Amino acid sequence: MAVREILKMGHPTLLQSSKVVAEFNTPALEQLIEDMADTMVAANGAGLAAPQIGVLQRVVIFGGGENPRYPGTEPVPHTILINPEIKHLNDSMEEGWEGCLSIPEMRGLVPRYREIEYQGYDPQGNLIQRQAHGFHARVVQHECDHLDGVLYPFRIKDPRYFGFESELFKP
Ligand code: NI
């Protein structure tokens, strides 16, 4: 069990592109994934990408039951995805509120493709291929953006819809 420090926006590593994972089923990859899972769970994240803990490799994890940071969203299957690729199935987009463990206490309204197909590999190198829509599709797009050095505020269309949770969602 190792909860790692999560890099915050402003750290230059978060702006870099990550490298393709060349070898599956290695102790180093297993350790990375374990650390990512521990870190995500400790922070109540809906997902986490390797660069957020300072590792520039194309590995993301996401999903796993109800998330207190995103109440009312449909469950996303718990997934470890390596070398992911995303295709949007059509041009339909929708806006939704996103947060990021690298940008604590803030939320922004971000357009994402509504329906996608994604693929990648599990830690043993088995192919994962799925279609997703809605929140599931949003989470995958958000996490995969991290692998190309893209953070959600870069995609906000109207900066007025970016702010602190405590102010945006005041009862
Ligand atoms: Ni994020």
- pLDDT tens-digit profile of 7-19? 999 999 999 999 9
Amino acid at 107: R
The amino acid sitting at 123 is P
Rounded Cα–Cα distance for residues 9 and 145 (Å) = 14
pLDDT tier at 170 (50, 70, 90 boundaries)?
confident
CA 40/CA 34 separation, integer angstroms:
10
Mind listing the pLDDT tens digit for each residue in 21-67? 999 999 999 999 999 999 999 999 999 999 999 999 999 999 987 78
Measure 104 CA to ligand 1 centroid, in angstroms. Answer: 10
Q: Which domain holds residue 158?
A: 12-168
**CATH code: domain of residue 110:** 3.90.45.10
d(C-alpha 8, C-alpha 102), whole Å: 4
123-145 pLDDT, tens digit each = 999 999 999 999 999 999 999 99
In a domain? residue 151? yes
150 C-alpha to ligand 1 centroid (Å): 9
Residue 70: pLDDT band (50, 70, 90) is confident
- pTM value is 0.96
How far does residue 100's CA lie from ligand 1's centre (Å)? Answer: 4
22 belongs to a structural domain: yes
| HSE-up (13 A, CA, CB side) for residue 136 | 16
Number of helices (H), then strands (E), in the chain: 3, 8
Distance from Cα 40 to the centre of ligand 1, integer Å: 11
- For the chain, how many structural domains are there in total? 1
- Is 64 a domain residue? yes
Residues identified as active-site: 143
* pLDDT tens column, 74-121: 889 999 999 999 999 999 999 999 999 999 999 999 999 999 999 999
- Cα(47) to centroid(ligand 1), Å: 7
